[in-house]
Amino acid sequence: MYKTEVYILGQKYTIKGEKSPEYIQRLAAYVDEKLRKVYEQNSAMPPLRAAILTCLYIADELYETKKEFEETKQQLKKLEEKTNELLLLLE
């Protein structure tokens, strides 16, 4: 188990887990970037509200990425089927 110190909005957090410290640092930097963008829009926003909005933005990104992945997977499956059909015609 790793123990990694990260900074998000200048606050220090210690994260314990199985993921490598480098990975946790990248995640924390990503969250920090997203939180800062929320604060750029309204610097007087309470921290909890900013955190919730940031979670929603990140959840939206994840959902859209998963949707695109599933669509790509379906397209790939159709291409594979078409390729197999064409290979059968060549035999």
Q: What is the pTM of this model?
A: 0.82
According to the model, what pLDDT value does residue 32 have?
98
Q: What is the mean pLDDT of each run of 10 residues along the chain (91 residues)?
A: 97 97 98 96 94 98 98 98 94 82
Query: 3-class SS at 30?
Result: helix
Which tokens hold the place of 59?
Answer: 């959840």
Cα pseudo-dihedral 55, 59, 30, 39, rounded to 10 = -40
Domain ranges for the chain: 2-90
Residue where the block lists tokens 């314990």: 16
- The per-residue pLDDT of the chain, averaged, comes to 97
